[in-house]
Amino acid sequence: MKNIVSMRWLLARMYEPDVVIADCRFLLGQPEAGRQAYEAGHIPGAVYLDLEKDLSSPVSAHGGRHPLPDPAVLASRLSKAGIGSNSRIVAYDDQGGMNASRLWWLLRYIGHEQVYIMDEGFSAWQNAKFPVTVDEPVQIPSSFEVNVQPAMLASVDDVQQASASDSAVLIDSRDARRYAGLEEPIDAKAGHIPGAVNYFWKDVLDWDGRWTDTGVLEERFSKLDKDGAIIVYCGSGVSACPNVIALEEAGFSNVKLYSGSWSDWISYEGNPVATGNSEADKDV
């Protein structure tokens, strides 16, 4: 798997000068918990990047709950954290890779290829008795050049077109109950974008919380056309990112992220909402 590295891989390379480790732990509804967890112990040399302060821009009328950061602002933040254009970045969290995947996607979106996710997460690292510290690294600013990849991003117009005309497969990455509209703990409306199919993002992981191998991922997405257009979304554009990575690992070449996702979709009054588990149930 080209985007996922093992804990032992990182253990062997963590002190190499071009490696930057990024701690992306974050809990929705507890915005300080990730930073507190980092301060209580992290992988030596890791810098902390906050999902809402560093990896999102402020919430506004549209754009969802975690709007994409401005590329120049993000690049400035990365530079201050010592992440440069020649860095190899390894991201981790303790949320199944969800937040680390957001950093992976953002870096790829602004043109940085050398970014990886550490499999399993911080608790597994700690349980393996690998080194942990409370010391925060001295962050020496680095130079980061932005080269935005607009083809990675789907707009609300793209999604409206895909929903109306099947111009792309829409993948909803939330759990089945939220997709079906049976419950909605976060957003103002329940349901999904009409025409979307449900692939819960946590299904990219096995029972032990490890990323499944390429063959399993290919089987998971076997009903989809590898060359066809795919747009992935979730609640706010974060948990969709593991599915984007999994699709890339499985050989799909035309995958976009709808970054605003469900929370952006429902911010437009005229956008239709579907409920239920099949197209026959959808309420347009």
Calculate ∠ Cα 256-116-114, nearest 5°.
85
Tell me the CA distances in angstroms from 72 to 50, 75, 102, 147, one per residue in order.
17, 5, 17, 10
Q: Which of 47, 90, 190, 234 is catalytic?
A: 234
Catalytic residue at 24? no
Q: By the 8 A CB rule, do 226 and 249 touch? A: no
Pure H helices in the chain: 7-13, 33-40, 71-80, 98-109, 122-127, 156-165, 176-180, 214-220, 240-249, 261-265
Dist CA 162 CA 183 (whole Å): 25
Please say whether the dihedral angle defined by the alpha carbons of residues 203, 204, 210 and 215, taken in this order, is positive or negative. positive
Dist CA 26 CA 100 (whole Å): 10
Dist CA 149 CA 15 (whole Å): 30
Dist CA 263 CA 236 (whole Å): 6
Dist CA 100 CA 108 (whole Å): 12
| DSSP per-residue letters across 80-116 | HTT--TTPEEEEE-SSTTHHHHHHHHHHHHTT---EE
Dist CA 86 CA 204 (whole Å): 29
By annotation, the residues acting in catalysis are: 234
